[in-house]
Amino acid sequence: MALLQLEGVTQRFGGLVAVDRLDFAIEAGSIVAMIGPNGAGKSTVFNLITGIYAPSAGRIVFDGKTISGKRTSAIAAGGIARTFQNIRLFAFMSALDNVMTGRHPRMRAGVLDALLHTPAQRKEERAVRERAFELLRFVGLEAQAEQYATNLAYGLQRRLEIARALAGDPKLLLLDEPAAGMNAKEKLELVELIRRIRERGVTVFLIEHDMRLVKEISERITVLDHGEKIAEGAPDVVCADPKVIEAYLGAPA
Amino acid sequence: MARLSRLQPYLLFGVAIVLPLIASNGGFVNFLADAGAFVLLALGLNVVVGFAGLLDLGYAAFFAIGSYTFAMLASPQFDIHIPFWVMLFVASGVAAVFGILLGAPTLRLRGDYLAIVTLGFGEIVPQTFLNLSQWTGGPNGIGSLDQPSIFGYRFGFDALPYYYVILALIAISVLAANNLRASRLGRAWMAIREDELAAAHAGINTTTTKLAAFAIGASFSGLAGCVYASKLQLVSPDQFGFNVSVAVLSMLVLGGMGNIPGVILGSLVISSLDRFILPQATNILHGIGITFDLTNSRFLIYGAILVLTMLFRPEGLLPSRQRRSELHAHGDVAAAEQTLYNEAVP
């Protein structure tokens, strides 16, 4: 059974149909990409999956449970993490605190534990701190643990966002244009990082414009245009599809 | 040095214990006790505004609710006399419940909108106490409230025992606020303050987390209301106006929002301004032949202080590291943009 399944998902904004009867599925353990021209509805699909919007029609099933209509925090706690197209870190919190915050839904301590500073609460804090350091090492940010997120270089902020997303032990990681603004070397490192993330058992679903990166890393590609799926399949097949070429370059004259 | 700064809170606490014993002046002890009640209020508001970033302009409402709870359940009003020590819990619990009730409708609001709605609540609550005159005594309020007693010792009208109760409550509140700040909940508040959408995506239930901030913040003012009412022996609706909310907020802004030592300093500065500096300055002005009562223009002076703080030290007198960087980030941001630009151009 697929890890994530979209069944006839439609999203209307007034008269605009941003996503139109979208069906597609992601198998557990895969790396898949969604591409499409600007305004095709890719980020809207992410926002539907993470519960920012409840779909106007259709449903989204994750790990055997319907998640469409649930609140964002519940979906995140259920195992879907994401990064954002325009980085959204907790700017004036340290890199370490950013990652520890990502662990929130897996932590137990309540108000009373915090107020009384109970041994169980301290133990949990220590364990989460330890784990957060491990994740910072994983993305290569251990030297910047105490720095404010906002003071990190751009490429490092992207990595920190990934570390924060991984902190809650997600099953599915959504990456929204992870290579945007990166140079060639950083892109290579990103490809390697995404592979290592999959080795941890996390399924990766990315939106990306850099076709070389997408072709190199993804096992399946879904192409969206005007909110509709126009092609799907292995990278080579999809990129040779005349409909995809038309969507990107326009119809031949 | 590091060791000294760790001892500082204990030293200051020690000073706070002996201070009223050295001072022979009863009025000074009375001032300390009142200033202490405002420290409690500032610590509570700091949870809401400083930690969670929810701008609350009607915080005095919870002070009112705490005070009236005590007044109704520990006075001849209904001839109910629940002991003061129990009432501390009851009043902070009732205030917390109202924190949730008044917080719930504002959950979708942010920034200015939240400020306006909380401002409204701040006006409604004292007005309600004024109008429910069959229970609250209307404009006259409720008088001859019960005085606390401990091991057979009745507090009476001396400010000193109240001062020590308030000091103990401040110590507990500082510990509580400090523990909260460095906890899962504290991180969640800060995450919401920094970026609510990203916080929700990190699995933080923003509804319950914000309500927790409102409830905990209100519970502090419930404590303050309880002890303040019992010390004053009287509650009336005019004690809890907008000016109280603004004064407490000014304490945070002046001292350094989000930073506990800063908040305490800010509230002590504003309280002394109110009770010492302005009356003294008025006397001095009288002495040189100018008859102008500065205490009547205290809000003009608060306003001027706020404007000056914003212009010259927007992070407050004793800011947190966070706040300081936030308000002096322009250089860093410019530098980051430059590196971004350099990286993007191959």
Q: What is the pLDDT of residue B33?
A: 92
Domain carrying residue B173: 23-344
B279-284: long-range contacts (C-beta < 8 A, 24 or more apart)?
none
| Residues of B with Cβ-Cβ distance to A115 under 8 angstroms | 176, 179-180
For chain A, give the number of residues.
253
The residue behind tokens 């590196």 is B339
| Average pLDDT of the segment spanning A197-211 | 95
Q: What is the pLDDT of residue B323?
A: 75
Residue at B215 is within a domain: yes
Q: Is the pLDDT of residue B100 over 90?
A: yes
Q: Is the pLDDT of residue B26 over 80?
A: no
Q: Which of A117-131, A197-211, B301-315 has the lowest mean pLDDT?
A: B301-315
Q: What is the pLDDT of residue B34?
A: 93
> How far is the alpha carbon of B43 from chain A, nearest alpha carbon, in Å?
14
ipTM of the complex: 0.93
Residue at B290 is within a domain: yes
Q: Is the pLDDT of residue A11 over 80?
A: yes
Give this prediction's pTM: 0.90
> How far is the alpha carbon of A149 from chain B, nearest alpha carbon, in Å?
11
Q: Which of A178-182, A224-228, B122-126, B312-316 has the lowest mean pLDDT?
A: B312-316
* Confidence tier at B45 by pLDDT (50, 70, 90): very high
Question: Given CB atoms, is A122 within the 8 Å cutoff of chain B?
Answer: no
CA–centroid distance for A172 within its chain: 7
* Confidence tier at B329 by pLDDT (50, 70, 90): low
Q: What is the pLDDT of residue B345?
A: 43
Q: Among B187, B195, B344, select the one facing A88 at the smallest CB separation.
A: B195
Q: Are B109 and B55 in contact (CB under 8 A)?
A: no
Q: Is the pLDDT of residue A148 over 80?
A: yes
| Average pLDDT of the segment spanning A241-245 | 88
| Average pLDDT of the segment spanning B108-128 | 90
* pLDDT tens track for A42-95: 999 999 999 999 999 999 999 999 999 999 999 999 999 999 999 999 999 999
CB-side exposure of B249: number of CA atoms within 13 Å?
A: 21
- Average pLDDT of chain B to the nearest whole number: 88
| Residues of A with Cβ-Cβ distance to B191 under 8 angstroms | 90, 93, 101, 104
Q: DSSP secondary structure string, A152-183?
A: S-HHHHHHHHHHHHHTT--SEEEEESTTTT--
At B40, which CATH number?
Answer: 1.10.3470
Mutation site for B-interface testing, chosen from A53, A67, A72, A86 by largest number of B Cβ within 10 Å: A72
3-state SS class at A206: strand
3-state SS class at A220: strand
Closest chain A residue to the Cα of B207, Cα to Cα: A73
| Residues of A with Cβ-Cβ distance to B198 under 8 angstroms | 84, 88-90
- Average pLDDT of chain A to the nearest whole number: 93
Structure tokens at A73: 């925090």
Q: Among B191, B197, B212, select the one facing A111 at the smallest CB separation.
A: B212
Q: Is the pLDDT of residue B341 over 80?
A: no
Question: Given CB atoms, is A1 within the 8 Å cutoff of chain B?
Answer: no
What share of chain B in percent tops pLDDT 90? 54
Q: What is the pLDDT of residue B3?
A: 57
* Confidence tier at B343 by pLDDT (50, 70, 90): very low
For residue B146, what is the DSSP state? Answer: P
Q: What is the pLDDT of residue B7?
A: 79
* pLDDT tens track for A13-44: 998 999 999 999 999 999 999 999 888 999 99
* pLDDT tens track for A94-139: 999 999 999 999 998 888 999 988 999 999 999 999 999 999 999 9
Residue at B184 is within a domain: yes
Q: How many domains does chain B have?
A: 1
**If 0-12 CB within 10 Å is exposed, 13-18 middle and 19+ buried, where does residue A230 land?**
middle
A:15-54 residues touching chain B, CB 8 A cutoff: 50, 52
Q: Is the pLDDT of residue B331 over 80?
A: no
Q: Is the pLDDT of residue B333 over 70?
A: no
| Average pLDDT of the segment spanning A210-227 | 93
Residue at B1 is within a domain: no
Question: Given CB atoms, is A140 within the 8 Å cutoff of chain B?
Answer: no
Q: What are phi and psi of A33, to 5 degrees?
A: -125, 155
Strand partners, A25: A5
Residue at B11 is within a domain: no
CA B119, CA B121: separation in Å to the nearest integer? 5
Q: Please, which residues have CB within 8 angstroms of residue A69's CB and are 6 or more apart in sequence?
A: A51, A54, A55
Question: Given CB atoms, is B330 within the 8 Å cutoff of chain A?
Answer: no
A203-207 β-sheet, strand order: A80-82, A172-176, A203-207, A31-35, A220-225, A228-233
| Average pLDDT of the segment spanning B223-244 | 93
